[in-house]
Amino acid sequence: MLRRVAGVVALAVGLTLTALPAAAAGEVACPVDLPNCIVTVENRGSAGSTTGGTVSTGGSSGDARVCRLPYRDEVVDCYDDDWGWFSNVDSCYYRLRDPQPPANDIVWQGRHPEGAIYVVTCMDRISPGSNGGWTWLATPPNGYGAPSVTPAELAQRAVEQMALAGPAIGTTVDGGQLGLVGVPVWLWTQVTPTTWGPTTTTASVPGLAVTATAHAIQIAWDMGDGTSFVCTNPGTPYIAGEVHSPTCEHIYTWPSLNEPDEAYTVTGTTTWSVSWSGGGTSGTLTVTRTAQTSVRIGELQVLVSG
């Protein structure tokens, strides 16, 4: 981001205006409280249309936009909260004047309600952000309302905002309990928006919004004893009195005595399917998240006395 310079600097040293001259299309005319600036900017392109100061930007093409200052060969933000949208044609930012000046304001030059009045901030070679004023344009300038990211990139941001996690692992061998060889260990995850879903989030930038919905489709279990398998469900929390899980379980055939900390490391990897739409397009993403726990497995010793 280029550093802002407070105030508006006169564009022509020693120029004093006693009256505001007629502003042709594409000229920038300062407000009355800033009488020292008239700068001409070129208006070589348009996107959408304006009527009575209302901008219609239409749909997004989905292409990423790069904004650059040619004389510095420097990439700048395509949108600024204060300055508006950047135009690669003239290296100026454009923001729709809100509210629009009265219909009898000289800046309209009798064109009201056609077109709209924009606040222009130009990236001067010496003091970036110090040059600007008002201009009338029949149509929005180059780049106005265009998003600086693609819908797919914005979908990735939505996924980041979801804070998707691996499974909140539950087993029948929790809290230091000792499981037994040959006895099923139930496996499940707590079902929440971030551990199984569904969860929906919208990410947006000026001119573009993408809504994404994520839901888990499976958990791949690595039981630490060389066994791995997939359960296409969140599993079933333990039901007292039952031996076998109706959905997801594992039976160990060897104790964990020789494992680090005398326990098997259990790893659960959740696969998330994320569908998204926005900017006139849609798509899907696949995301994986992992969590771990440990279980201690022993052998049942049977003592026979003679």
Do residue 215 and residue 267 come from a single domain? yes
pTM score: 0.59
CATH of the domain at 166: 2.60.40.10
Is 45 among the domain residues? Answer: yes
Q: Are strands 264-278 and 281-298 parallel, antiparallel or unpaired?
A: antiparallel
Do residue 157 and residue 293 come from a single domain? yes
Do residue 172 and residue 282 come from a single domain? yes
Do residue 129 and residue 170 come from a single domain? no
Which pLDDT does position 81 carry in this prediction?
A: 87
pLDDT by 10s per residue, the chain, length 306: 443 333 333 333 222 222 333 333 444 444 433 333 333 333 333 222 222 222 222 233 345 677 888 877 787 888 888 899 898 888 899 999 999 999 999 999 999 999 999 999 988 665 555 567 899 999 998 888 777 778 888 899 999 999 999 999 999 998 778 999 999 999 999 999 999 999 999 998 877 889 999 999 999 999 999 999 999 999 999 999 999 999 999 999 999 999 999 999 999 999 999 999 987 889 999 999 999 999 999 987 655 555
Which pLDDT does position 249 carry in this prediction?
A: 97
**End of a domain among 89, 110, 137?**
137
Q: At a CB cut-off of 8 Å and minimum separation 6, what does 97 contact?
A: 53, 116, 117, 118, 119, 134
Which pLDDT does position 130 carry in this prediction?
A: 57
**End of a domain among 102, 137, 172?**
137
Do residue 101 and residue 163 come from a single domain? no
Can the peptide bond before residue 113 be classed as cis, meaning omega within 30 degrees of 0? yes
Do residue 216 and residue 289 come from a single domain? yes
The domain tally of the chain equals 2
Separation CA 120–CA 182 (nearest Å): 76
Which pLDDT does position 39 carry in this prediction?
A: 37
Which pLDDT does position 59 carry in this prediction?
A: 30
- Which tokens is 195 given? 């551990």
Domain that holds residue 72: 27-137
Which pLDDT does position 53 carry in this prediction?
A: 23
Strands (E), the chain: 27-29, 38-40, 49-51, 54-56, 67-69, 74-76, 79-80, 84-87, 92-96, 116-123, 128-137, 169-171, 178-180, 185-189, 199-205, 208-222, 228-231, 249-250, 264-278, 281-298
Is 16 among the domain residues? Answer: no
Do residue 240 and residue 184 come from a single domain? yes
Do residue 166 and residue 111 come from a single domain? no
**End of a domain among 115, 137, 159?**
137
